Amino acid sequence: MAWRIDKYVVRGLIQNIVPGRVVGTVWLKGLNQPVELNLKGNCYRDLAGARLEFRNAKAIEGDYSGFDIFQEGTVGDMTASKKVKTPPDFDDDEFVSDEPPAFKLANCLYLEWFSESNGRVLIESVDYAWKVSLPKWTLSEDAERDQQEANKQAMFNFMDELSRALDPAEQREDPLEEDMDEFQWEAYLQKTDARSDMLLELFEKYENAPDCEEIIAQAMGWEIDSMEVTEEFFEDWDTDEDEEKAGSALEYLPNHPLIVNMMEITSNLYDESEARKLLSDDTSNPWNQLIWHGQMTVSKLIAALEQVSEGVETEPGFVVAALKRALHLLHLTIATMEACISLKPEEHKWTSDIRKELFALRESIIDLMHNYRQR
């Protein structure tokens, strides 16, 4: 999917001084030379003809394996005026209302391009400091609309390339009618994951567009009416109903022992971490990540064993392939816990029993996979 590099940017310079050409340099933390941009196209009107300089005071070092230092290709949406919702600033003591706080609109620096070597690359942040020079030339409204259409087509082309990158042998919407083995199921599940990622990427980019449903349907190749897209898919994004849906879902959670076991472990981890004030609003906090990996393990176990717990005859290949995914998340949970403990081992002896439970669950999953492989 897209290379999102905003967290790693130290500083950068983007110039659209020459019409139809965007050049620049972007310094990433940990690299000893800047990334060089040489792109066809124009920025939006607020940056067209101008020089943009930006800095990030909170840059962190990333993994740049496979990322080309020379970025050639075409521009995507490039603007410093994208409106995004941001949480309001308030102190906990000041917030006494029962109503959730209203979000604020803020200008977001949004620099997108489509690289010949890396596909879609995106810098998106409301936290950078930036300044824009006076323009050497101006982009007309008609020219900006043309550029927006070109950018949309570039996004569609990027999605097409992602689709073609999937194994052609797996280019089907449904599994085979006959039973598949675990490896065929793995390929099928990987394809559905890729399409889900594509859909999420499109929604994040176009969620505020008035014709969002039509754009996404076109990019995904759906031959359905846009109203069907709205009614059948986008209602899942209605955050007002999330709490109600979650409450209903809890009443019907499958009761397979492995699912129940992991749910209890995750709940215990959360309660203990919360009681010790180890959790925070920072998503990079390793204790937050530990809880997240635990929750994701639960979801993967539900995907693998929901039908089994309901007594439905399930293909052994599917169960094994889905349990592999759960096992991967369980390994992440264990590794994250080890990282958390290593920070202050003497203070976290309380994790000893939970650690034993995680390893016992791991053995149970492996045993179940072995049983299904023998069927």
pLDDT tens-digit series, residues 307-366: 887 777 778 888 888 888 888 889 989 998 988 888 788 888 899 999 999 999 999 999
Residue 36 has pLDDT above 90, yes or no: yes
What's the confidence (pLDDT) of residue 304? 84
pLDDT in tens, 77-89: 999 988 776 655 5
d(CA 336, CA 69): 31
Using one digit for the tens of pLDDT, what is the confidence trace for 217-274? Answer: 776 666 545 444 444 444 444 444 444 444 444 444 557 889 889 989 999 999 999 9
The residue extents of the domains of the chain are: 3-156, 166-242, 253-373
Question: Would you state the pLDDT for residue 248?
Answer: 45
So what's the pLDDT on residue 229? 45
**Residue percentage of the chain with pLDDT more than 90:** 38
Give pLDDT, residue 133: 95
State residue 37's pLDDT score. Answer: 96
Average pLDDT over residues 8-25: 96
pLDDT of residue 217: 73
